[in-house]
Structure 1
Amino acid sequence: MKRSFATSLGMAISLALISPFAIAAPLRPNQPIGEADVLSGKVTRDPDLGYILIGGIGGAMGTFMRVPDEATRAAWEQDRKDALAKAQKKYPGAISDWEATVDMLKKSGNKGPYPEKPVEPTIDNVEVAPLDTRDMVSFGPQFRYTKGARTSFLTVVKPGIYYWVGVPVAPCMCMGTVQFEVKAGVVTNLGNMLWALPQQKLDMTVAQVEWTKSAEERAKAGKPPRVDPFAAPDLDMTVPDSLKNWTVVAAELHAHGKFNNYGAVVVSRLAPIPGVLSYRRDTVIDERTGQALPNPKLVSMQKPKL
């Protein structure tokens, strides 16, 4: 995928219908909410929108992408048609400029190579943002819902199926991740499960292998163990008291297959989660069904780091 899309990671905002139930400024997808606005009544639950709650993990940040639905796909197709119409309108001028340039170079004695002829625009080569990136949402590290000993983030989203991309400019979970559903009018609580549930030791990196060797050597030498930097935190699904009148449900994670590396960062995958996600070499396994997920053809800026 073209690098021009990489800088848009985590910044895609899509407007939704304004609910008559919203107070003050209407909420919109990819909008963070602060606890003070909920406590003051400035923000109330909009039954037409969904919400993602992340918590218990300090100064975190990350990005989710939404599985495109029919409405998103229709809007994307219309954008492609509009972009094609504009490109076709400019194409004759581009050809004239190219012909004039080549003719001038030939007359000046330049034997080439000459500029390549502009490619005729088609629906498949016009540039629009990729379909998968249209409903991206991000959270953190600023605009926290709660601060202090326990940090949380509450983000407004369109209802739908979302999958975990990872942290911007950090490894992308392109080779295997998890997805979950966000329903209208409901706060879907992820707590710290994206960090607490993955079993790192089942999918160890080179650094983890070296740490394990070092820990074993210390144990043999009778030395006290150090804190394991790769140990997963305890699961924390705490819901702030300020959301007690909102409908809050724990996210139900499901395996999600491979996807394109739109951010042009190092490629990785989410560590296995028992009962949810595992791998058979480079194939993603849905542990809920025992089935292997398809291996799609990917367009990536980086080589996989498995």
Structure 2
Amino acid sequence: MLAAIAAVSTVTPAFAKEKPPVFVVTAPVKDKPVVTIDPAKAYILLRSDNPVPLYLMKVPTAEDQALYDKTRAAAFVEARQKYEKKQASYLKAKAEAVKTPGLSVPEEPVEPTDANFEFVPFEMLASVGIGPTNRLSKSKDVSTYLQEVTPGTYRVYGQMLVMNGTAGGSCFCMGSVKFDAPAGKIVDLGVIDKADKVEKVSGDSSQPVLIGEKPLFRSAGPGETLDPRIINQTVVAAKFMPVGKLPNYFGLTITRIPEMSGVFRYDRDRMIDLTTGS
């Protein structure tokens, strides 16, 4: 189902000497006799008719953004310091080459600027992978996942898996949705049905993955009851909101979430927000 795509290290430049900040603390809720809910955490519930990966990215709060900006600034200072040392070595070698014909000169280092400085995007520091393993329960017809996360707002980035430095799957880079995950509650994303097979469009260099027209998430039916271990917890249906296009951080094949009734529709490649009419 998944193909190894791009090493994550190619899009995650080095940090400053300090450890990177933690924006999201997450863990799957394991299949145990009793499920305990931490009122300080949020929980995301997902069901699928077969094992499935889903990748989320947290939307930064004002506090998140301030901490991220501070961390990036520190890394930029370190990059400048390294550049100055390399530049001094380069100038010294260049001067020596003038006095010693035939002596090779190293390539001149590129001066880091705010415009060309590469730093890990916030979203890649605040991601959550759900599935396809670590299910809360499984049966012949359904896999149930329950993921503990830091409370906040999360974008649905794609049906993809990041593991051991590689990413595989597809991203909803051409259109996606977000939802709130408040503390002390279980947010039910609904059910992901098995995707219909759709032929790819030949000659499209973007390598789109077409997933059909039926909704990605549907509400659970009458026979799809909650796991009895969480039936007495506060479970709320996810309130989806459109978020438009997202960067293709991992160099994956791209697709988009199908239209959602009452949430959004597409006008060619533009999302029309049906929650606000814009």
Determine which structure has the larger helix proportion and give its number: 1
1:61 to 53, 74, 78: 53
- Paired with 2:144 and 2:76, the residues of 1 have a C-alpha distance of 43
Equivalent in the alignment of 1:4: 9
Question: Which residue is equivalent to 2:273?
Answer: 286
2:3 match = none
Counterpart contact for 1:65–1:162, Cα < 8 Å: yes
Q: 2:102 aligns with which of 109, 128, 139?
A: 109
**RCO higher in structure (CA 8 A, sep ≥6):** 2
Tell me if structure 2 keeps the 8 A contact 1:191–1:238.
no
Check 1:5–1:78 CA distance in 2 against 1; reply closer, same or farther (3 A cut): farther
Deviations 1:113-171 (A, max 9, x none): x623431x344544431022221101111111112232111111121211111122222
Note the alpha carbon deviations across 1:74-106, whole angstroms, 9 max, x for none.
111111122123223323211122223434555
Percent identity of paired positions between Structure 1 and Structure 2: 28
The counterpart of 2:26, out of the listed 17, 30, 47, is 30
Q: Which runs of 4+ in 1 moved over 6 A?
A: none
Residue 239 of structure 2 corresponds to 252
Radius of gyration: which is bigger?
Answer: 1
SS in 1 for 2:178: strand
Larger proportion of strand: 2
Match of 1:135 among 120, 126, 132: 126
Counterpart residue identity of residue 272, structure 1? E
Q: What is the TM-score when the length of structure 1 is the normalising length?
A: 0.69
Letter in 2 for 1:175: M
After superposition, the CA RMSD in angstroms is 3.3
Task: Summarize the Cα distance change of 1:205–1:103 in structure 2 as closer, same or farther, 3 Å threshold.
Answer: farther
Mapped partners of 1:284, 1:101: distance in 2:
55
Task: Tell me, yes or no, if structure 1 residue 153 matches structure 2 residue 145.
Answer: yes
* Structural mapping, 1:20-99, within 5 Å: 29-36=25-32, 39-40=33-34, 44-99=36-91
Uncovered stretches (5+) of structure 2, i.e. residues with no partner: 1-6, 14-19, 161-167, 202-210
Task: Judge conservation of contact 2:83–2:109 (CA < 8 Å) in 1.
Answer: no
Looking at structure 1, the residues matched to 244 and 188 of structure 2 have their Cα atoms a distance apart, in angstroms, of 22
Query: 2:63 is matched by which residue type in structure 1?
Result: A
CA 1:287–1:239 in structure 2 vs 1: closer, same or farther (change >3 Å)? Answer: same
Unmatched 5+ residue regions in structure 1? 17-27, 209-228, 292-306
Does 2:183 correspond to 1:190?
no
Contact 1:178-1:277 at 8 Å conserved across structures: no
Q: Is the 8 A contact 2:11 2:120 kept in 1?
A: no
